[in-house]
């Protein structure tokens, strides 16, 4: 579910609410959601800890609590909700951080794919996915030249698969890859190495522009996503292809088609995104 704009929105809603608060108790209702260390150590280490910052790397949220860091990944359906302690638990509430002042930070996840890692000062416990993340797409390291080099180095992989690879660029998911490829006029099944310089620059600009606007709109609520206080995102109104199968392309009027590419449902305008490319 949540891609970079959604995770960034959750971060922004939580940072102003949890920083300065102390965890009085940790309730682990579904132990498998705690990936590292064991749930007992996890709860013991966090009890009494105070939030000092919340940062984001790709789709990971990283809560700073003195010497330890709490890493959360929401995967498809995870939600982190800051709410009053008196409200009843949702059916899929798996971990509850009881905070001072009568508040709770709840982890709710219907499909249970997400979870937590606790990182110790020496770096022990860092999930591999976090350690191997590529550059932030809105950061200085993600340049058109970097993207061109990354795409050229892939032998035959399709552009869609490469953009979804978190070691190439951190934070893109199915929705924003489809939107960026459409804006750049690139078909998702094109071999990554086949893109010309102008196409790569257009794609680079599209990725940054779309993610920037999606953050401003507080993300895309297509199905389940809500931010840290339960609000839905507004970028769904700006989607050009994702979720618009059979609807006319907003650029040229050609019906949008849906096809499986790199194992993922992909939305394409056959006119704006020719399979052969422009080179």
Does 112 help bind DNA (rule: CB under 7 A)? yes
Beta carbon of residue 198, minimum distance to DNA (angstroms, whole number) = 22
Does 264 help bind DNA (rule: CB under 7 A)? yes
- The angle that helices 174-184 and 197-216 make with each other, rounded to 10 degrees, is 130
Beta carbon of residue 237, minimum distance to DNA (angstroms, whole number) = 14
Closest CB to DNA among 172 and 249? 172
User: Which of the ranges 19-27, 97-105, 111-119, 197-205 carries the binding residues for DNA, by CB under 7 A?
Assistant: 111-119
- The Cα 67–Cα 70 span in angstroms is 10
Does 257 help bind DNA (rule: CB under 7 A)? no
> Which of 52, 51, 56, 50 is closest to 9 using CA atoms?
56
> Which of 177, 29, 55 is closest to 115 using CA atoms?
29
E-assigned strands of 52-201?
A: 53-57, 60-65, 68-73, 78-84, 93-99, 103-109, 115-119
Tell me the two tokens of residue 269: 């305008």
Does 9 help bind DNA (rule: CB under 7 A)? no
Q: Write the DSSP assignment of 22-74 as a string of letters.
A: BEEEEEESSGGGEEES-HHHHHHHHTT-B--EEEEETTEEEEEETTEEEEEE-
Closest CB to DNA among 21 and 232? 232
Report helix, strand or coil for 265: strand
Query: Per-residue x/- marks for DNA, 42-81, CB under 7 A?
Result: ----------------xx-------------x-xx-----
Q: Is 143 left (phi over 0), alpha (psi -120 to 50) or beta?
A: beta
- Window 194-233: residues binding DNA (CB under 7 A): 220-225
- The Cα 65–Cα 20 span in angstroms is 10
Does 246 help bind DNA (rule: CB under 7 A)? no
Tell me the catalytic residues: 2-3, 59, 264
- The Cα 43–Cα 118 span in angstroms is 10
- The Cα 267–Cα 258 span in angstroms is 5
Beta carbon of residue 259, minimum distance to DNA (angstroms, whole number) = 10
Does 179 help bind DNA (rule: CB under 7 A)? no
- The Cα 183–Cα 72 span in angstroms is 31
Beta carbon of residue 99, minimum distance to DNA (angstroms, whole number) = 26
- Window 78-107: residues binding DNA (CB under 7 A): 91-92
Does 271 help bind DNA (rule: CB under 7 A)? no
- Window 116-175: residues binding DNA (CB under 7 A): 127-129, 154-158, 161, 164, 166, 173-175
Does 275 help bind DNA (rule: CB under 7 A)? no
Closest CB to DNA among 183 and 218? 218
Beta carbon of residue 245, minimum distance to DNA (angstroms, whole number) = 9
Binding residues for DNA, rule CB under 7 A, total 40
Chain contacts with DNA (rule: CB under 7 A): 1-3, 6, 58-59, 73, 75-76, 91-92, 110-113, 127-129, 154-158, 161, 164, 166, 173-175, 220-225, 258, 262-265
């Amino acid at each position: 579910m949540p891609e970079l704009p959604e995770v960034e929105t959750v971060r922004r809603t939580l940072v102003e609410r949890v920083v300065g608060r102390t965890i009085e108790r940790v309730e682990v209702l579904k132990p498998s959601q705690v990936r590292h260390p064991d749930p007992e150590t996890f709860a013991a280490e966090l009890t009494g800890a105070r939030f000092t910052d919340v940062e984001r790397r790709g789709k990971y949220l990283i809560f700073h609590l003195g010497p330890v860091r709490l890493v959360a990944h929401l995967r498809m359906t995870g939600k982190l909700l800051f709410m009053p302690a008196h409200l009843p638990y949702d059916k899929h509430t798996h971990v509850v951080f009881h905070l001072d002042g009568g508040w709770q930070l709840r982890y709710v996840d219907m499909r249970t794919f997400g979870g937590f890692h606790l990182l110790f000062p020496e770096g022990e416990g860092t999930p591999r996915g976090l350690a191997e993340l590529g550059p932030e797409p809105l950061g200085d390291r993600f340049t058109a030249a970097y993207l061109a080099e990354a795409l050229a180095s892939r032998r035959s992989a399709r552009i869609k698969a490469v953009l979804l690879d978190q070691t190439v660029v951190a934070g893109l998911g199915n929705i924003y890859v489809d939107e960026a490829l459409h804006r750049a006029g690139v078909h998702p099944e094109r071999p990554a190495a086949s893109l010309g310089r102008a196409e790569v620059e257009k794609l680079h600009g599209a990725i940054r522009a779309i993610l920037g606007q999606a953050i401003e709109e507080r993300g895309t609520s297509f199905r389940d996503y809500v931010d840290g206080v339960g609000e839905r995102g507004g970028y769904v109104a700006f989607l050009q292809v994702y979720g618009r199968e059979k609807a006319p392309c907003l650029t040229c009027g050609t019906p949008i088609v849906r096809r499986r590419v790199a194992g993922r449902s992909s939305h394409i305008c056959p006119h704006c995104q020719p399979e052969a490319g422009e080179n």
